[in-house]
Amino acid sequence: MTTANGVKPGKVLLVGEPMGLFSANQEGPLSEVGVWTASVAGAELNVAIGLKRLGQDPLYMTKIGDDPLGERIMAFLDANGLDTSLVRVDGGHHTGFMMKSRVSEGDPKTFYYRKDSAASTLGADDVERLDWTDISLTHITGILPPLSDSTLEAAYALVDQAREHGAFVSFDPNLRPALWKSEDVMTSTLRRLASRADLVMPGIGEGQVLFGVDTVEDTAKAFLDNGAKIVIVKDGPRGAYASDGSAEIRVPGFVVDHVVDTVGAGDGFAAGVLSSLLEGGDLADSMERGCALGAIQTQQVSDNEGLPTPDQLAEFIAVHKRAV
């Protein structure tokens, strides 16, 4: 299986909501936490940061409020060298934020405050004004569509415009059930978006919810039967499995001593895969890089501060064992 599927060097377009992130500095109920660490997060933003640090040219499109969190996000984008030409300040809406617990085992609890945020006003008209001249790939997640009726329209317009202009479409379902009106709406919408993607990167849990399957093979087949061209299924520390319907690839994950935080691992995986494909890497090499970035992210409390440079990535791959 090769990547002779339209992936070519060029800019990567990401559209989503950046958020202020307040991470608890101690374990226990968030209502009792007294000290927090402030940073910036957002699935699409995490992928953009990962791509930038690996030498790619991401374009990040969003809206932020005219408030301290919006200022923090803009400063963060500037500090990381991201192109902010598609970032608009909306004085009539606030910037969203989230609170995340600290845990020593399992996944942290996360609470979101994003209703009526600036990013929730993104719409199809914003997408239709884009200049696609240098954009070769767009990556979308399942978080943008349920933020509002207008962001749902923006998500569909993004996929349609990308296909019309010959850009490769990557899709991470990234389930957030609490954002959706109902599970039925979530399922039908994400299936529709996945059906129009060149590459879909679900996890086992997303296969269970969206198609009622529970193995990597069945998850890949379900998304392929739904219309995707290539499916890479994330299988946690075990690694990843990919299929295009005619061939399959299995890549082992990386062994780490201790998992600090799993949030952001999927975004790291996406950044690893996409950066490799854009460099002309084959699917196996791209999956290995994705597994490496996913593992690196589990070693960090922040959703994106640990994303590596090429040298840091090479060192991690060289010294870490693969899963059995």
pLDDT digits (tens, 9 = 90+) for 71-98: 999 999 999 999 999 999 999 999 999 9
Residue 225 in tokens = 């039967």
pLDDT at 301: 64
Instruction: Indicate the pLDDT class of residue 310, thresholds 50, 70 and 90.
Output: very high
Q: Can you list the alpha helix ranges (DSSP code H) found in the chain? A: 43-53, 68-79, 124-128, 149-164, 183-195, 204-211, 216-226, 265-278, 283-297, 310-319
Q: Taking CA 239 as the corner, what is the angle to CA 234 and CA 245, rounded to the nearest 5 degrees? A: 60
pLDDT band at 165 (very low <50, low <70, confident <90, very high): very high
Q: pLDDT-based confidence at 261, cuts 50/70/90?
A: low
Of 195-204, 218-227, 256-265, 267-276, the range with the lowest mean pLDDT is 256-265
Instruction: Determine if residue 146 is left, alpha or beta; phi over 0 gives left, psi from -120 to 50 gives alpha, anything else beta.
Output: alpha
In this prediction, residues 280-285 reach a mean pLDDT of 94
Q: How far is CA 36 from CA 6, 102, 307, in A?
A: 44, 10, 21
Q: Do 142 and 175 contact (CB within 8 A), yes or no?
A: yes
**What pairs with residue 88 in β-bridges?**
63
Alpha-carbon torsion angle 303, 306, 309, 313, nearest 10: -110
Q: What is the mean pLDDT of the chain?
A: 93
Q: Does the structure show a pLDDT above 70 at 132?
A: yes
> DSSP states of 178-210 as a string?
GGSS-HHHHHHHHHHHHHT-SEE--BHHHHHHH
Token reading at 83: 């192109």
Taking only the tens place, the pLDDT of each residue in 3-37 is: 444 588 999 999 999 999 999 999 999 999 999 99
CA nearest to 201, candidates 181, 179, 238, 175: 175
4 Cβ contact partners less than 8 Å away, ≥ 6 residues apart: none
| Contact of 97 with 70, CB cutoff 8 Å | no
What percentage of the chain exceeds 90 in pLDDT?
Answer: 85
Number of Cβ within a 10 Å radius of residue 279: 15
Cβ neighbours, 10 Å, residue 20 = 23
What pLDDT does residue 110 have? 87
pLDDT of residue 1: 40
Q: Read off the pLDDT of each residue in 65-76 and give the average, rounded to a whole number.
A: 97
Q: Give the separation between CA 84 and CA 236, rounded to whole angstroms.
A: 33
Rounded to an integer, the average pLDDT of 167-187 is 95
Ranges of each domain in the chain: 11-319
- Total-model pTM: 0.93
- In this prediction, residue 324 carries a pLDDT of 82
Q: Which residue numbers are catalytic?
A: 267
CA 196 to chain centre: 17
Judge contact between 311 and 275, C-beta under 8 A.
no
Question: How many percent of the chain have pLDDT more than 70?
Answer: 96
| Amino acid 69: pLDDT | 97
Quick one: pLDDT at residue 62? 98
Q: What is 1-63 written as a DSSP string?
A: ---TTT--SSEEEEE---EEEEEEEEES-GGG---EEEEEE-HHHHHHHHHHHTT--EEEEEE
User: Looking at residue 299, what is its pLDDT?
Assistant: 80
**Residues 283-301: tens digit of each pLDDT:** 999 999 999 999 998 887 6
What value does the mean pLDDT take over residues 209-236?
97
Task: Please check whether residue 40 is in contact with residue 95, taking contact to mean a CB–CB distance below 8 angstroms.
Answer: no
Superfamily the domain 11-319 falls into: Ribokinase (3.40.1190.20)
d(CA 190, CA 147): 13
